[in-house]
Amino acid sequence: MMEHAETIHKGDGSGNEMVVRFRLPSGLEVFGLPTKNAYGGHWDLGPTWNYAVMSDRPFLVDAGKFGQGKRLLAMMEAGGITNTDLDFVLISHSHEDHDGGLAELIEATRLKVKAHAIYDQLIRHYPAQSPEPKKKHFPAKCWHCFMPESFYAKNCLDYHRVLQGLSVDVIGDGRTQLGSDVCTYHLPGHSPDCLAVRLGDEALIVGDIILPDISPWPTRKEMFAEVAQVIQPAYTKAAAIFGLSRYLQSLKTLIQVADDHPGLLVLPAHRLYYNDRWNPIDLADRSRQLLAHHIERCGAIVEILGGQPKTAEEIAEDYFEDRLLDGFGALMAANEIVSHCELLVDSGDVVTTGGNRYAASGSTQFETHIQALISDGMASKKRRRSWK
Ligand SMILES: [Zn+2]
Ligand SMILES: [Zn+2]
């Protein structure tokens, strides 16, 4: 896969500030522009890979984290792209490492912004509806955030203020055609507004929906209640846009995309290059690996709960290695466990008990439950194939 890649500027071993040109068989050029990210330690994602797609209407996908907008422009120039070459910037999802640099970028370029309709609603402030007083200066997308004030005061508040006035050209659910050979897929789960962008039969920019090496963080269904009043009436059910089940269904869609468009070059938002090497992804294989990973984790949680009821934090302590539980890691780990427990409650294998504890019900139906969640489209696909 990396035969398409030409390194124009060499970055560091994690890929920070590389400039890479991918020349696809049709002649279409895509630039990989990984900007520095804030998070280090054992949950390090590596830089954010932004991409410039030089199609008929050239566009940028993502804008890096807060403070990286101008840096991204400089990296584009190193690749021979000036901002007047670009038509718009598309935001893959509302996480700060992807839209943090947006205000700075727009101020410098006046580029139009495209994003999923949920993004347009979640970046706004609704002080009267904020779940707790200290969050009234946060946009709705950050009401669930569990990071401490020391983190968000330094990394986020300024950029939230600037994004308030942003006007967004919104993209809908399902598949949306953006040009003759460019389309988006709304694939929630990691975030309710995740988009993947397909470039004909040649490449798929997947944001954080699938990543090499690491398993993207799934949202929790319970996050819906907090923002429901902001995003209704379009979405009335948590499971339509939040939670692990929805994430697994998005993986199913990616497997179908891989089936319909074999050989896509997959361009993820983190770790395409990391630890001094490329990490190419096979779309169907990686999606299946991630499905298997989550099924396995569900099994491990049921086993951990075999003895006695436990809180998400206690399950996380049993499940994750100690080094992953340092500092913020403990919060990240517990979040992942809650996502899985929500699914296990749906499958009937886990029940909630007093004191925020989960207990095993004695059944192990999660695998059948997950297969049913992801089976519909796959079954009809197989049937169609056998007629060929
Ligand atoms: Zn993300
Ligand atoms: Zn990210």
Distance from the alpha carbon of residue 193 to the mean position of ligand 2, in angstroms: 13
Distance from the alpha carbon of residue 93 to the mean position of ligand 1, in angstroms: 7
Distance from the alpha carbon of residue 110 to the mean position of ligand 2, in angstroms: 24
For residue 252, give both structure tokens.
């199913």
- Average per-residue pLDDT in the chain? 91
Q: How confident is the model at residue 44 (pLDDT cuts 50, 70, 90)?
A: confident
Distance from the alpha carbon of residue 98 to the mean position of ligand 1, in angstroms: 7
Distance from the alpha carbon of residue 306 to the mean position of ligand 1, in angstroms: 33
Distance from the alpha carbon of residue 15 to the mean position of ligand 2, in angstroms: 14
CATH topology of domain 293-386: Arc Repressor Mutant, subunit A (1.10.10)
Distance from the alpha carbon of residue 97 to the mean position of ligand 2, in angstroms: 5
| pLDDT 10s digits, 103-138 | 889 988 989 999 999 999 999 988 888 888 877 878
Give me the pLDDT at residue 376, please: 66
Cβ within 8 Å of residue 35, ≥6 positions away: 16, 17, 47, 48, 50, 64, 65, 68, 71, 72, 75, 101
Distance from the alpha carbon of residue 354 to the mean position of ligand 1, in angstroms: 32
Task: Identify the nearest ligand to the CA of 62 by its number.
Answer: 2
Distance from the alpha carbon of residue 207 to the mean position of ligand 1, in angstroms: 7
Average pLDDT of the segment spanning 74-89: 93
pTM above 0.85, yes or no: yes
Q: How confident is the model at residue 209 (pLDDT cuts 50, 70, 90)?
A: very high
Distance from the alpha carbon of residue 91 to the mean position of ligand 1, in angstroms: 11
Residue entry with tokens 């302590």:
317
Q: How confident is the model at residue 1 (pLDDT cuts 50, 70, 90)?
A: low
In the predicted structure, residue 85 carries a pLDDT above the cut 80: yes
Distance from the alpha carbon of residue 209 to the mean position of ligand 2, in angstroms: 9
In the predicted structure, residue 312 carries a pLDDT above the cut 50: yes
Give me the pLDDT at residue 39, please: 67
> What CATH number is given for 2-281 in this structure?
3.60.15.10
Task: Identify the nearest ligand to the CA of 46 by its number.
Answer: 2
Domain ranges for the chain, please list them.
Answer: 2-281, 293-386
Residue 61: phi and psi, rounded to 5, are -110, 115
Distance from the alpha carbon of residue 160 to the mean position of ligand 1, in angstroms: 16
| pLDDT 10s digits, 169-206 | 999 999 999 989 999 999 999 999 999 999 999 999 99
Lowest mean pLDDT among 31-40, 95-104, 156-165: 156-165
Task: Identify the nearest ligand to the CA of 189 by its number.
Answer: 1
Distance from the alpha carbon of residue 208 to the mean position of ligand 1, in angstroms: 5
Average pLDDT of the segment spanning 243-265: 97
Distance from the alpha carbon of residue 89 to the mean position of ligand 2, in angstroms: 16
Distance from the alpha carbon of residue 64 to the mean position of ligand 2, in angstroms: 9
Average pLDDT of the segment spanning 72-90: 93
Distance from the alpha carbon of residue 46 to the mean position of ligand 2, in angstroms: 9
| pLDDT 10s digits, 322-336 | 988 888 888 889 999
